[in-house]
């Protein structure tokens, strides 16, 4: 893990509405599947949602996610980045043969940011397509190389 942190030049922070929903799962899985391409452009990825930490653990396990997920139940992180949010909610999902009620403190809009090592904002996308997000991030970072 230290090696990955040391080599990362860019931090990709993507906000998404809710774990275990169609678009959010697709977005997370494309980031997972593009790990090699993201590493090649020296990026580290963090996904942020209003889901509870326990839900994010299940989400990461269920979809074998290979990057950090942060819980922002109060919406404070989203607020720092100016990402709109609304009240939380709950959904029922079957996970591991068990039906669970998954609650989130807030529902955050889908936005993506890229910061450099100094914390300078290099990229902001407030019109994110879940399926295309990671590809656009890789393309942007490749253009900086």
Indicate the average pLDDT of the chain: 93
The residues, any chain, with a CB within 8 Å of residue 62's CB and separated by 6 or more, are 20, 95, 96
pLDDT digits (tens, 9 = 90+) for 43-69: 999 999 999 999 999 999 999 999 999
- Per-residue pLDDT band for 145 (boundaries 50, 70, 90) equals confident
pLDDT digits (tens, 9 = 90+) for 81-125: 999 999 998 899 998 888 999 999 999 999 999 999 999 999 999
139: Cα within 13 Å, side-chain hemisphere: 5
24 carries an active-site annotation: yes
Q: Which of 19, 24, 65, 114 is catalytic?
A: 24
Q: What is the pTM of this model?
A: 0.91
2-133, CATH topology level: Glutaredoxin (3.40.30)
């Amino acid at each position: 893990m230290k090696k990955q942190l040391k080599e990362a030049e860019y931090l990709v922070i993507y906000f998404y509405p809710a774990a275990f929903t169609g678009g959010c799962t697709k977005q997370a899985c494309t980031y997972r599947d593009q790990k090699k391409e993201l590493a090649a452009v020296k990026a580290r990825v963090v996904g942020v949602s209003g889901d509870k930490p326990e839900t994010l653990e299940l989400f990461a396990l269920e979809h074998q996610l290979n990057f950090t997920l942060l819980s922002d139940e109060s919406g404070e992180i989203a607020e720092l980045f100016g990402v709109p949010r609304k009240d939380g909610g709950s959904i029922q999902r079957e996970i591991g043969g068990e039906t669970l009620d998954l609650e989130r403190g807030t529902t955050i809009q889908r936005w993506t940011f890229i910061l450099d090592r100094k914390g300078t904002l290099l990229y902001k996308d407030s019109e994110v397509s879940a399926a295309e997000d990671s590809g656009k991030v890789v393309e942007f970072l490749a253009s900086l190389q």
